[in-house]
Amino acid sequence: MKTNNKNIKSSLLMMATLLIVLIAPSCKKALDNELDNATYDDKFWKTEADAQGAISGAYGLLRTSLYTDNTFFIWGDLPYGEFKTDDTNMQGPYVNGGLNAVYYREGGAHTWTNWYKVINVCNLVIDKVPAIPTASFSGGIKAKNYLIGEAYFLRGLCYFYLARVWGEVPLQNDPIYTAEQIKLLAQSPEETITNQVISDAAKASALMTFEGTAQYQRTRANKGAALGLLAHVTAWRHDYTKTLVYTDSIINKVDTYGLETADNIRMPFKNTNSKENIFVIPSSNANKEAYFSDGIGFQTLMEPYITDRYSKPLYYVNSDFLFNIYPNAADVRLDKFYGYSSSADIDLLIKYSDVGYKTVSEPYIESNLIIYRLADIYLLKAEALNALARDPEAQTAINVVKVRANTGGTSAVGNLLKIEIMNERVRELAGEGQNFFDGVRMNRSPVWMTDARKALKGWRWPIANSILQNNNLINQTEFWKGKY
């Protein structure tokens, strides 16, 4: 499977750049009017370098999807109540007003354009790589299958985001090579989309191995990532018996995965190869991945974590929320995940505080964006066991995380245990793009999510007007009809 010689690296960079360039220009409207003409001639899709370049392009586009307007944070954290902002445009929609409007500047949260770009590259890989001669792959059929598995995983992961955010979305699994192949598609039901997630993740799990954690340092997908996706999508569907199978498949792989100690609880954000990490989006400056502005670190930090920045960041911690969610002052996460700025008298999220400096006035941030890590999987296991009325086992699972955080275990049962599991997910995973989805899944949504709104599936986000205007087969999500 090794492909890390100098010539191959150069080819990967070239091919990834080629893919992004080819995908970027718009040639014909489809889905949201921005699926693009990706023309490949017969000289491409011939070697392992071509395949590696393609999948590298898909990872790059996934990074863009997550970081555009910090979409992962806007969707997964901001509506839940832990964060505040002084931006008056955002206070009403996201913080005080219960998501009854949307912030017009955060366009990445309202459109699925970037996600379908990832999906199309994955479709191309799934379509073309099987025909590349196996002899071209230095690792033989195993390496070839692994790469195809990565495409299935990435496509499934994208569809899972789409399903949780919009519910009903187009199912586009035909590879698009030319503008003439583009078709306007209607939405498919959420169950159809999550069925696709399960199918893709299962194929990915069968094709990939755990060995990828060593080779790619968890910055590319591996069998554990596919199992993590299966665990999450089955929990989303409340098929908790299957969730338990998938969480145990990861937890029991003790030679590959393990929790960091309390002292090193922030290590997953600093070190891509932390044993706690399952799959992360890296931000290494040496690999030209660090961000210099606008990223989530710059929007949640100020001095003393970034020098010479004395203005409040766009998002800072709601201190009342923090006080209520952390009843135990000995919890190590209070010091490891949160900081304080005396100049602004505010609490800060410091998960994304691995700051370096190109020059004195040019800081950059190298913290990983974590998609899946082991603490998440333990808590998902606890949730599944509690839902299956197996509370003693659920206590054991949640207490692994609680004891690591120096809070001691819980003996709660029933609904009280369910509440404690949700609270523990907030304590452990805040700022990682999970908590609002957790609240929807566990029926622990913020107070503004009324029963009337739930009846309209009001946790879903609006679809951008540009999509609706250019594809008359697409319907606005139910709650947002007439509001957006």
Residue 101: CATH number of its domain: 1.25.40.390
Residues 6+ apart with CB under 8 A from 370: 268, 269, 277, 279, 280, 281, 432
The answer to whether the CB of 410 falls within 8 A of the CB of 388 is no
Residues 6+ apart with CB under 8 A from 69: 105, 106, 107, 108, 109
Rg (CA), the chain: 22
* 335 domain residue, yes or no: no
Distance CA 336, CA 126 (A): 41
* 4 domain residue, yes or no: yes
What is the total count of domains within the chain?
A: 1
The ranges of the chain with pLDDT < 50 are 1-41, 96-97, 104
* 18 domain residue, yes or no: yes
* 299 domain residue, yes or no: no
* 204 domain residue, yes or no: no
**C-alpha dihedral sign at 263, 211, 368, 237:** negative
- Burial profile 287-321: b = 16 or more Cβ within 10 angstroms, e = fewer: eebbbeeebbbbbbbbeebbeebeebbbbbbbeeb
* 300 domain residue, yes or no: no
Q: What proportions of the chain, in percent to the nearest 5, are helix, strand and coil?
A: 50, 5, 45
**Residue 364 pLDDT:** 95
- Give the global pTM: 0.91
**Residue 99 pLDDT:** 59
What residue type is assigned to position 367 of the chain?
S
Which residues constitute the domain of residue 34? 1-188+451-484
The angle, 0 to 180 degrees and rounded to 10, between the axes of the packed helices 223-236 and 140-166 is 30
- Contacts for 206-209: CB closer than 8 Å, 24+ residues apart: 206/149, 207/145, 207/146, 207/148, 207/149, 207/152, 208/145, 208/146, 208/149, 208/150, 208/153, 209/142, 209/146
Distance CA 169, CA 477 (A): 10
**Residue 63 pLDDT:** 96
**Residue 16 pLDDT:** 36
* 227 domain residue, yes or no: no
* 157 domain residue, yes or no: yes
**Run of H or E residues at 71:** helix 71-76
